[in-house]
Amino acid sequence: MDQWNEFLQDTFAGSIGGITFVLSAHPFDTIKVRMQMVSENTSILKTAYKIFKQEGPFAFYKGVVSPLLFSFPVSATLFACYEQYMRYFQVDRDSYQLMHWGVGGAYAGFIQSFATSPSELFKIVFQMQISERKRNSVLRCIFEFVNKEGIAAVFKGVNSTIFRDIPQYATFFIAFESTKQYLQSERGYLNIFDQFLAGIAAGLVCICFSYPQDMIKTKIQYEILESKQNRRYIGIDGGISKCMKEIYKETGFKGFWQGFNSCAIYYMVACSAQLVGYEQGRIFWDTYVKH
9 CB contacts (<8 Å, ≥6 apart)?
282, 285, 286, 289, 290
Q: How confident is the model at residue 133 (pLDDT cuts 50, 70, 90)?
A: low
Q: Are 183 and 194 in contact (CB under 8 A)?
A: yes
Q: What is the pLDDT of residue 243?
A: 95
- Among 26-40, 44-58, 206-220, 259-273, which is the least confidently predicted range? 26-40
136 has pLDDT over 90: no
156 CB contacts (<8 Å, ≥6 apart)?
117, 121, 220, 221, 223, 224
What pTM did the predictor assign?
Answer: 0.89
149 has pLDDT over 70: yes
125 has pLDDT over 70: yes
Give the pLDDT confidence of 42-78 residue by residue, as tens digits. Answer: 788 888 899 899 888 888 888 788 788 888 889 999 9
Give the pLDDT confidence of 278-287 residue by residue, as tens digits. Answer: 999 999 998 8
Q: What is the pLDDT of residue 39?
A: 65
φ/ψ of 159, rounded to 5, equals -60, -45
To the nearest 10 degrees (0 to 180), the angle between helices 44-55 and 2-36 is: 90
Q: How confident is the model at residue 291 (pLDDT cuts 50, 70, 90)?
A: low
**Arithmetic mean of pLDDT over the chain:** 89
